[in-house]
Structure 1
Amino acid sequence: MTKILVIEDQEDIRSIIKEILTAENFLVMDAENGQAGIKFLQTEIPDLIICDIAMPKVSGYEVVTWARENPTTEAIPFIFLTAKGSQNDIRQAIELGADDYLIKPFTRADLLGAIKARLEKEEIINRQTQKKLKKLDNELYSLMSDDLINPLNYIMSISKKLIDDYELMEREEILTKIKEIYNFSEKIHNKTSH
């Protein structure tokens, strides 16, 4: 279930948002101001944050700045929901790291549309990241395989020769082959232990 943190100092607006989101099967947590929102983010990690700007104690600008400076919260989609609608307000919010900006009064459709857009974008980013990680994992496996398989094949061929021909081999030749096995084994060990 998608967890959404609503940070809003006006209780009536916070209740309306909670009601709308709960009806859409979101798990909703709320904080009555920016300070409480930051405290919440120190223990819980939501999937999305909806935050007012003008609040007592800690403003929404301070919340988004704090969230973007912390590794555990820096990528959480962040939507401002505020009465501050000037171009400067919007620009400042985006520059601080907000992903979207809704101006009060808002409609249910506006709110849900913004949330849906942010969550879909997050899903696309996650899919792309997983593809990149899988590609890197495959490349690493391929490199490791080449580095390990070739020496192992050589060790196996030397061992096979020792098994098949040990009665015909001179003692010095046997010792040389055993040293080769040891050296290749050591190379494999060094590559895999770092």
Structure 2
Amino acid sequence: MVNILLIEDDRSLRENTKEILELAGYNVETAENGRKGVQLALSKDIDLILCDIIMPVLDGYSVLKELSTVPRTQKILFIFLTAKSGLKEIRAGMNLGADDYLVKPFEEQELLDTIHSRLLKFQISHKYNSNNSKNGSSKIADIQHFKEYFIENGEKKNLMKNEVLFRENNLSRYVYFLKKGLIKTFKMDEYGKELITGIYHKESFLGLYSFNGLVSYPESSLAMGPSLLYRLPSNFLREAFKYNTQLTLELAQNIAEEIIELKNHLLQTAYSSALRKTINTILDFSQKMKFEENEMGEISRSDLANIAGISKESFIRCLSTLKNEGFINIEGRNFQILNMSGLRKIK
């Protein structure tokens, strides 16, 4: 029998919903606030949680955040019950990792259909992941095979330009493989200034933040242009590491190289002149995108300035200097390196 936990502070709604679910054959536990709901989820064997958002003691968002940090409760299906039908509130819940939502007041059949479809999807997914853990994760020899596995078995995700992939502080449930496009990761400082922490080009992995359990995203991520990604649950990555030593070593080497690159970038940001920062940013970006000399590349001045760690105005002045001296060409948002070896020699 499926065990459902209903967390709802409205007594009448709580009792009526419990009765509907029990008549449908479910075993139901109830809690009148978020704190008691968390305690029940931790002490009982729960398959699915129905949870109100606005509640005393602990709200629904906090309930989901707490349960998502505990291994035995982070996989419980979670459906928000909300009287707010606004897209912003609904999206906030889904970004935290909720599986679905119901807007109150809801019809009896709507409630039962939502629960049934979620349980069915979970059963199919669980069976699929179990088979892959046993049969798939032990056959990923190296990074190239890992990329192929993402494409064959991962969930496909298309992003338009400026569409968010994930947000800082939301639960990190997936690892991503970027097949096409360009993705940036960034943080916002206390003054609302965007600080770019990374640029990811095609054939890159994103979301490698923890290998021991679910954590919150330490940064946000956004598509800089139309992008195609594939994603797999984070727990699959841990399974793959158990059986594939070469894959683990190759990913560890990639991460080590990224750390070295980040340290060099920090030194450049701290000690280089504005002109040198501009040059290094252009060269690094061209190298990541595999642009050849005289090949045109496209990226916004603001993004490049944020990577360089200088103001947009200073960055544009440096670009103008390099253009006037014949090292680069600029056409709108596009830039072209005309003399790569000369750029490298500038002090």
* Shift >3 Å, 4+ stretches: 136-139
How far the C-alpha of 1:20 sits from its partner, in A, is 0.6
Structure 2 residue runs of 5 or longer lacking an equivalent are: 140-347
SS in structure 2 of the partner of residue 12 of structure 1? helix
SS in structure 1 of the partner of residue 43 of structure 2? coil
**Structure 1 equivalent of residue 40 of structure 2:** 40
**Structure 2 equivalent of residue 106 of structure 1:** 106
How far the C-alpha of 1:45 sits from its partner, in A, is 2.8
Structure of greater relative contact order (alpha carbons < 8 Å, 6+ residues apart) = 1
How far the C-alpha of 1:44 sits from its partner, in A, is 1.2
1:119 aligns with 2:119: yes
**Structure 2 equivalent of residue 57 of structure 1:** 57
Name the aligned partner's letter for residue 14 of structure 1.
Answer: R
Name the aligned partner's letter for residue 69 of structure 1.
Answer: T
1:25 aligns with 2:5: no
TM-score of the pair, normalised by structure 1: 0.68
How far the C-alpha of 1:138 sits from its partner, in A, is 8.6
Report the CA distance shift for 1:56/1:137 in structure 2 as closer, same or farther (over 3 A). Answer: closer
Higher helix share: 1
Higher strand share: 2
Aligned residues: 139
Once the two structures are superposed, residues 138-181 of structure 1 have per-residue CA deviations (whole angstroms, 9 ceiling, x without a partner) of 97xxxxxxxxxxxxxxxxxxxxxxxxxxxxxxxxxxxxxxxxxx
C-alpha distance in 2, partners of 1:34/1:138? 40
C-alpha distance in 2, partners of 1:59/1:128? 33
**Structure 1 equivalent of residue 83 of structure 2:** 83
Report the CA distance shift for 1:131/1:81 in structure 2 as closer, same or farther (over 3 A). Answer: same
Structure number with bigger Rg: 1
Aligned pairs for 1:176-187 (under 5 A) are none
**Structure 2 equivalent of residue 149 of structure 1:** none
SS in structure 2 of the partner of residue 117 of structure 1? helix
TM-score of the pair, normalised by structure 2: 0.39
Q: Is the Cα contact below 8 Å between 1:45 and 1:72 reproduced in 2?
A: no
Q: Is the Cα contact below 8 Å between 1:45 and 1:73 reproduced in 2?
A: no
| C-alpha RMSD of matched pairs (Å) | 1.5
Once the two structures are superposed, residues 93-115 of structure 1 have per-residue CA deviations (whole angstroms, 9 ceiling, x without a partner) of 00111111110010011101110
Q: Is the Cα contact below 8 Å between 1:31 and 1:37 reproduced in 2?
A: yes
Q: Is the Cα contact below 8 Å between 1:49 and 1:79 reproduced in 2?
A: yes
Once the two structures are superposed, residues 90-139 of structure 1 have per-residue CA deviations (whole angstroms, 9 ceiling, x without a partner) of 01000111111110010011101110111011101111122123326997
